[in-house]
Structure 1
Amino acid sequence: MSVMLLIPSYEPQEKVFLFVQQLEKETGTQILIVDDGSGVRYQKIFQKLSVLPSVTVLSYPVNKGKGAALKIGFQKIMSDYPDVDGVVTADSDGQHSIDDIKRMIAAVESVQTHTLILGTRSFNKKKTPFKSYWGNRISAIFFYFATGLKCEDTQTGLRAMKHQLLPELLTIEGERFEYEMNVLLQSKERKIQLEQLPIETIYESNNEHSHFRAIQDSYLIYKPLIRYISSALFSFLIDMTVFLLLLFLLGNSEDIVVPATIIARVISGVVNYLLARAWVFEDKSRVQTTLWKYGLLFLGQMFLSSIGVQLLLKFLPIAFISKLLVDSLLFGVSFIIQNRIVFQKWKVME
């Protein structure tokens, strides 16, 4: 079986040459290195790499991001290497051992065409850099909430797939680090089977050469969750503003509180639906396909909130705190239901 290694690289260190040289020697596979706009300063390294017999270097002048580099590599393999049966992607920053890459090459030979193999690391809190440890933990939790699947390492760049899967991967959105997460998030929708192969956890020089941008790239990865929280807070402000305004205009009597609560909740619910559909989950289906589902969720959430607060008041007789606890729980449940059922940003396959 013919397997090709695809290595996206941006501003590589000098040691990458020795790594690729040894990789070529021990695997005997063709290697495609995508220079993701590293610039003139790094061309000597890529020129040295291109001299290696089994290495091809593909360069372009402007940095596009890791996701774009992977897609450009996939396109190159599809057009110029049609006889390649499998592809293994690896990072160029020294986080993957040659032995693990060889295991991925062997593993891809026996998998189905619609399977993606993930080289998953285990993260020891004491041995893993702070940013890397918590970044992976948070993304794993987010991935579970979004899909219901457990993945130990959603950030891994060591992946393997059959050649037939490449056209599917090219249609998934994302140009930077969010692309690899998007592939996982859409795996069930696209019926891509995920298999996890444990690999060694390596962080050289405390991962100081990583090009991951903490704020920008984190936002791209967690964009739906961040937007969901933002829209929920905005809807809450709408709810409270309308509620207080009605009490101010109509009087603060017991007869007014209940209808004011309902009116405020309905108005904030409409705002939240519009934001969730257009901004959070970017759902492009017809309104009719999501409005009734959101309506049922809205009514159910309002019912459970009122019942939950009443029950909790028996043990915690502070209305504000009781409502805060109940609605916080429903907040998380609502995100899961909206994501998996109402808007189906990433559909879950039975």
Structure 2
Amino acid sequence: MIILIPSFEPDAQLPSLIRNLKQAKAKAELKILIVNDGSGPAFEPVFAQAQAAGATVIGYTNNHGKGQALKTGFGYIMANYPGHHVVCADGDGQHSLADILKVAQRVRAHESIVLGERLFSGQVPLRSSIGNRATRLFFALATGTWLRDTQTGLRGYPAQLLPWLQSIRGNRYEYELNVLLEARSLGFCLDSVPIATIYLDKNESSHFRPLRDSLRIYAPLLKFSGSSFLGFLVDTVAFLLLMAATGSLWISVAGARTISAGVNFSVNRRMVFPEGRSLPLRISAGRYFALVVLLLGASYGLLLSFTEAGLATFPAKLLTELVLFLLSFAIQKRFLFRTRDAVSSGPQLNRPTSSHSQAQLPTSTDSAQVSAEI
């Protein structure tokens, strides 16, 4: 079992964790690998302490992000420790020794993806609470699966999935969510074990950048929002032009909706859900037309229900549009632009995969610095 720790500008918590893992090493047969994600010379003493405590330290000069650090670690493990399962943990004190060993034990026993799910009890920093709630909702819409903790950094992976893990897109914090999204799209089971919720100094040691990294994580939903807004603008402009040209309300409404639906379908197929491009156009277009009819009926039914319940027309309309927006995203992500053979195209957990090439260290002028295990 390999404990993989991606690390950027660590503090004393990192060598402390290594010393604790070393004490459990003989019993649990652990090997510890740290990837220095371009922390800089000022942090070399911390990595030297971790190495002296029993870890292998590899890395590169420039920062490339947590996702790339994990991929680099997976590549190193495949080359040097083939057949070993991996537990990914953070080195900032948020994961206790007991929880790391708990995840390692579950992966060894079941050879499945194991998530260390925090219970979010006690004092949870506001940005962490909001971020986790938003990501849970997004993940549920995209996959139909409700996870308590989609942002956990404590995860276990069986050895046969390492080549697949290197193929997942994303180099920074969005990578870990992309892993879960791809895993569910391929039908993988996501196992979990409860772990403690630990935030030190209100999580000030976290290198998560709220605006930039959130944009990366929620990119599919944000692109869908932009596509929907573009459809609204096209619908409005087309309606006004057709009204001026024909004077017919029915022709203007029907024509504008047809034009905006065509634009929305094209944008979603090419930019928002690019995986849908593998579907024949007639199939995806037929599915989209059926969805438009479904949403039209749902819009009328919801609006009628809200107004009969006593809600004013304008807030009822806003609430209806919000519900339909989330419903439309979920349907298009999970069904409309998804191919039937998506599951069969992915790796199987019961057999090793050899069709993927090993990921290399980040493409840059930096050479990887590798030190021998002590």
Query: How does the TM-score come out when normalised to structure 2?
Result: 0.84
Q: 1:263 to 1:317 in 2, by over 3 A?
A: farther
Aligned to 2:347: none
The answer as to 2:290 corresponding to 1:296 is yes
1:48-63 aligned at under 5 Å gives the runs 48-52=49-53, 54-63=54-63
Tell me by how many angstroms 1:347 deviates: 8.9
Aligned to 2:251: 259
Q: Which of 163, 176, 181 is equivalent to 2:177?
A: 181
The answer as to 2:125 corresponding to 1:129 is yes
1:1-350 aligned at under 5 Å gives the runs 3-28=1-26, 29-52=30-53, 54-84=54-84, 86-112=85-111, 115-124=112-121, 127-251=123-247, 256-283=248-275, 284-285=277-278, 286-306=280-300, 309=303, 322-344=316-338
Tell me by how many angstroms 1:127 deviates: 0.7
Letter in 1 for 2:320: V
The worse-fitting range, judged by mean Cα deviation, of 270-279 and 41-50 is 41-50
- Whole-Å separation in 2 of the counterparts to 1:200 and 1:346: 38
- Whole-Å separation in 1 of the counterparts to 2:261 and 2:268: 10
- Whole-Å separation in 2 of the counterparts to 1:318 and 1:143: 32
Q: 1:77 to 1:238 in 2, by over 3 A?
A: same
Q: 1:42 to 1:347 in 2, by over 3 A?
A: farther
Secondary structure, counterpart of 1:331 in structure 2: helix
Letter in 1 for 2:116: G
- Whole-Å separation in 2 of the counterparts to 1:174 and 1:202: 26
- Whole-Å separation in 2 of the counterparts to 1:151 and 1:310: 33
Structure 1: gaps of 5 or more residues? none
- Whole-Å separation in 2 of the counterparts to 1:317 and 1:109: 54
Letter in 2 for 1:32: L
Tell me by how many angstroms 1:245 deviates: 2.3
Q: Check whether the contact 2:94–2:200 (CA below 8 A) recurs between aligned residues.
A: yes
Q: Check whether the contact 1:146–1:346 (CA below 8 A) recurs between aligned residues.
A: no
- Whole-Å separation in 2 of the counterparts to 1:67 and 1:58: 15
- Whole-Å separation in 2 of the counterparts to 1:70 and 1:191: 22
Q: Check whether the contact 2:13–2:92 (CA below 8 A) recurs between aligned residues.
A: no
Identity of aligned residues (%): 39
Query: How does the TM-score come out when normalised to structure 1?
Result: 0.90
Structure 2: gaps of 5 or more residues? 345-374
Q: Check whether the contact 1:36–1:63 (CA below 8 A) recurs between aligned residues.
A: yes
The worse-fitting range, judged by mean Cα deviation, of 28-37 and 293-302 is 293-302
Higher relative contact order (CA closer than 8 Å, sequence separation 6+): 2
Q: Check whether the contact 1:185–1:346 (CA below 8 A) recurs between aligned residues.
A: no
Q: Check whether the contact 2:15–2:50 (CA below 8 A) recurs between aligned residues.
A: yes
Q: 1:208 to 1:317 in 2, by over 3 A?
A: closer
Q: Check whether the contact 2:143–2:185 (CA below 8 A) recurs between aligned residues.
A: no
Letter in 1 for 2:101: K
Q: 1:195 to 1:308 in 2, by over 3 A?
A: closer
- Whole-Å separation in 1 of the counterparts to 2:315 and 2:23: 64
Q: Deviations over 1:291-331 (max 9, x none)?
A: 11112112332344346556766666976555444333222
Q: Check whether the contact 1:12–1:93 (CA below 8 A) recurs between aligned residues.
A: yes
Q: Check whether the contact 2:83–2:160 (CA below 8 A) recurs between aligned residues.
A: no
Tell me by how many angstroms 1:259 deviates: 1.4
Letter in 2 for 1:243: F
Q: Check whether the contact 1:174–1:182 (CA below 8 A) recurs between aligned residues.
A: yes
- Whole-Å separation in 1 of the counterparts to 2:21 and 2:40: 24
Q: CA RMSD in A?
A: 2.3
Q: 1:229 to 1:189 in 2, by over 3 A?
A: same
Q: Check whether the contact 2:306–2:316 (CA below 8 A) recurs between aligned residues.
A: yes
- Whole-Å separation in 2 of the counterparts to 1:261 and 1:311: 23
Secondary structure, counterpart of 2:115 in structure 1: strand
Q: Deviations over 1:217-260 (max 9, x none)?
A: 11111111111111111211111121122223333xxxx11111
Q: 1:196 to 1:259 in 2, by over 3 A?
A: same
Q: 1:130 to 1:295 in 2, by over 3 A?
A: same
Q: Check whether the contact 1:147–1:346 (CA below 8 A) recurs between aligned residues.
A: no
Q: 1:320 to 1:48 in 2, by over 3 A?
A: closer
